[in-house]
A and B are shown apart, each in its own frame.
Chain A
Amino acid sequence: MKDNFRQSMKWFHTWVGLVVGWVLFFMFLTGSLGYFYQEITRWMEPERPFIAHEVSTEKLLDTAQIYLNKHAKGVDEWDIMLPNARDQNLRVGWRHLVDSGKQGSRYKITVLDALTGEAVASRATGGGKLLYRMHYRLHYLSTSISYWVVGFCSMLMLLAVITGVVIHKKIFTDFFTFRAKKGLLGWLDIHNVLSVIALPFHFMITYSGLLFFLFTYMVLSTNLQINDEEFDEMLNEIYPGSTHLDSARQPSDMLKVSSLYQQVKNSWHADELSYVEMFAADDINAHARFVRHETDITYNPDDEVTINAITGEVIAVKINKYTGAGIIHNGFFSLHEGHFAGPIARWIYFFTGLIGTAMIASGLILWTTKRKPKQMKKANGPDFGYRLVEQLNIGTIVGLPIAIASYFYANRLLPLDMANRINWEANIMFISWAVLLIYPAFRTAKQAWSEQLLFAALLYFMLPIVNAFTTDKHLLNSLHHQDWNLAGFDLTLLVVSSCFAFAAYKMTSPQLSNKTSAQRNKQVSKRVNNKIVIEKRDHPSVQVTNDSLLPLPQANKEKC
C-alpha cells in the first residue's frame, strides 16, 4: 500500500483507531468502572445500611435463614450472600415467579439489614450493574447487534494493538522516554508510554473480550463442523455447570445452615465464606454448597464444599474436568473480569483499565494535534473530517465522564416513585452525552475543551455534596462508620474532580503569542536589536510551540 510494510501499518493503525476510537473509549471507561460495579451499586442504593462490623458468620447465616424461612417458604433453591470486601451488605436471593400464571421466573436479590434482619427496600436503580452491562451490551440496541458492534470494535482494537507494536520501531530504546512537551512529541510519548507499560494487559483484555462471544462470531465455522446437538455437548464440556439434586417432594427437617458451616470451616481451616447455595430446601435431598472467594484463575475444586443439609456430612462432589482448551478459555474470562482480584488487585485492574482508556484518548488527541498546524492554515477553515474528530474528541473524552456523573446525579435526584426510573437514569446519561457531543460545534476547540473540563471538575466536586444533602450515606458519615467502600466512592469523585481541575488549569495556563514557531523564528532573525534576541533566548521556559495545544496532563486526568 505505502512504500513499505511499516508505513502501511502506520496508516492502518491510524484508521483502525479512528473508525472505532470513541466506541472503544466508551467500552474501556465503562469496563474499568465495571470492576467496581458492586461498589457502585451499593453507593447508588443509599437505603442500604452501613457496614456492620464484628458480626460473626454464623450470626449472619442465622439472620438470613430466619428471613428466608418467613418469606421463601416453599422455594426449592435460595442463596445467602455474605458481606464481603466488595459488598458489605447481607443479601439473600431466589427465583421469584414473574407473573402468576405466566411461566418464567426472575432471580431477585433482597438486601437484609445484618443487625435487624429486616429487608431493605432500595430505590429502583440500575446501579453499577447497568453501567457495567453497557460495556458489552451497549444501550438501546438489541443483544445481537450490540454483540456484533462490540466484536467489530474489539477486533479493530486487536488490530490497533498489534500494528501499534509493529510500528513502534524504538519500543525498547524509548521504553522510558517521556518528553513532557506541549505538542506532537508530548502526546506521542504519552500514547506510547501508556500503551507499552500495560501491553500484556491490552493484549489480554482485547483477546479475552473477543473470546466472550466466540461462538456468536465464528458461527459459520461452528455450523460447518458440528450440528446443534454436538454443539450443546461441546458447550457443556467447555462450561461445565455444577450438578445438583432436585427436590424429591418429600419434606424433611434441615439442620441450620450455620451449624452446617462448622464442617466447612474444618475443610477450609479458615472462616472465609462468600456465599451459600441451598438446593432442595426442606426436603430429604436438601444440600447446601458453601463457596468462598476464588483462589485460582482457572478452577480450584477446594473453593466449594457441598454438605448434606439433613445429616450434616460433606458430600463428595463430581469435580469439573476441564479440557486444556477449556482451561485457557475460562482462564481468559477470569483474567478479563478479575474475579479472583482482592481489593488491591481490583484497584490495579481499575487503574490499568483507565490507562487503556487514556491510551485511546491520547491516540485520538494525537491525531488532531498532528494535523492542526496544516488544518488551521486552510483558507476556509479546517476540513470537515478534522472538525468532526475534534468535536467527537471533546464530546467523548470529557463528555462521557460528565455523562457518567449525570447518571449518578440522576440516581440521587430523580423522584423515588418515578415510573421507569431505571431507564430514565440511563436516558439522562445518554442525553447529557448527546448534548456534550453537539456543544463543541458552537465553540472553538480551545474554549470547548476548557469549558467542558471545568464543568467536569465542578460536577464531580458537587456530587459528594449533593450526596450529603439527599442521603445519609455521605462522606462524613461513611468515614465515621468506617464504611470504606462508600467513603472510597465519594473520595474517588473528589480525586477525579481535582484531576479535571488540574487539566483545565493546564489548558488555560499562560499562553504564548498565537504565532507559529516558524513565524516567531522569522521575527527573531528580523530583529536587529540583539537585546531582544537575547531576551528571547534567555527564557528557557519559553517553548516555541504551536498555539492553543492541549496540555499533556489532560490525558493523565485519571491518573493525576
Chain B
Amino acid sequence: MSYLVNKLNACSPYWSMFSRVLAAITGGYVLATANSIFISQLLLSSVGKYQAIHIGLMLTFITYACVAMWVFSVSTATKVWLGLIKLTVLVAVATWLLMKLNGMSS
C-alpha cells in the first residue's frame, strides 16, 4: 500500500488539486442537481409541477457557483469530498421527505 502511495506520488499537491477539481466538476454537478430537485419539491404546491422544475433548474447555476467557490476555499481535499457527500446526502434526504409530503397532499 505504501509502495503504491510512493509510486503514484499520491501525496503530491498535484493529486490534491486534481481531486479538488474533480470534486468541483462532478460532485458540484451532483449537488446542484440534488438541489434543483429539492427546490422543485419545495415549490411544487405553490406554482405547479412544470414551473417548479423550471425554477429549480434556473437556480442551479447559483448553487453550482457557490459549491465551486466553497470547494476551493476548504483546507484539504478530503474535507471537500466529505463535505460534498454530507451535503448531497442531506439534500437527498430532505428531498425524499418533501416528496413523501407532496405525495400525501396531492
Contact = CB atoms under 8 A, between A and B. Distances in A.
A joins B in a complex: yes
Interface of A: 1, 5, 8-9, 11-12, 155, 158-159, 162-163, 166, 207, 210-211, 214-215, 218, 220-222, 224-226, 230, 233-234, 237-238, 323-326, 328-329
Contact of A221 (B48, B50, B56, B69): B56
B69 A9 contact: yes
B29 A220 contact: yes
Nearest to A224: B37
Closest 10 pairs between A and B when the two form their complex, measured CB to CB: A8-B73, A234-B50, A325-B54, A221-B33, A221-B36, A12-B72, A323-B51, A325-B51, A325-B55, A218-B57
B50 A233 contact: yes
Contacts of B65: 155, 158-159, 162
23 contacts: A1-B74, A11-B72, A12-B73, A155-B61, A155-B64, A159-B65, A162-B69, A211-B58, A218-B33, A218-B57, A220-B29, A221-B33, A221-B37, A221-B57, A224-B33, A225-B53, A226-B49, A233-B50, A234-B53, A237-B50, A325-B51, A326-B51, A329-B58
B12 interface: no
Interface string B30-41: 001100110010
B54 A159 contact: no
A328 B55 CA distance: 10
B106 interface: no
Given A233-B50, A234-B53, A210 B33 contact: no
A218 B59 CA distance: 11
A382 B29 CA distance: 37
Contacts, number: 82
Given A159-B69, A163-B69, A233-B50, A222 B37 contact: no
Given A220-B29, A224-B37, A225-B37, A325 B58 contact: yes
A105 B36 CA distance: 39
Contacts of A224: 33, 37
A224 B37 CA distance: 8
A221 B53 CA distance: 9
A214 B64 CA distance: 13
Given A220-B29, A224-B37, A237-B50, A1 B57 contact: no
Q: Which of B36, B37, B73 gathers most chain A CB within 10 Å? A: B73
Interface residues of B, number: 27
Given A159-B68, A162-B65, A218-B33, A328 B73 contact: no
Contacts of B68: 159
Nearest to B80: A1
B75 interface: yes
Interface of B: 29, 32-33, 36-37, 40, 47-51, 53-58, 60-61, 64-65, 68-69, 72-75
Nearest to B53: A225
Contacts of A325: 47, 51, 54-55, 58
B interface, over-half SS: helix
B73 A1 contact: yes
Nearest to A219: B33
Given A11-B72, A323-B48, 6 more contacts: A9-B73, A211-B58, A220-B33, A221-B32, A226-B49, A226-B53
A164 to B, nearest CB: 12
A259 B12 CA distance: 78
Given A234-B53, A323-B54, A326-B54, A218 B36 contact: yes
A328 B58 contact: yes
A158 B54 contact: no
Contacts of A155: 61, 64-65
Contacts of A225: 37, 40, 53
A109 B69 CA distance: 47
A9 B73 CA distance: 7
Contacts of A226: 49, 53
Contacts of B64: 155
Contact of A12 (B47, B60, B61, B69): B69
Given A158-B61, A329-B58, A8 B51 contact: no
Contacts of A324: 47, 51
Contacts of A11: 72
Contacts of A159: 65, 68-69
A121 B70 CA distance: 57
Contacts of B54: 234, 238, 323, 325-326, 329
Contacts of A326: 51, 54
B50 A323 contact: yes
Contacts of A210: 61
Contacts of A237: 50-51
B34 to A, nearest CB: 8
Contact of A207 (B29, B40, B61): B61
Nearest to A207: B61
A233 B5 CA distance: 53
Contacts of B40: 225
A457 B83 CA distance: 53
Contacts of B51: 237, 323-326
Contacts of B32: 221
Q: Which of A1, A9, A210, A224 gathers most chain B CB within 10 Å? A: A1
B38 to A, nearest CB: 10
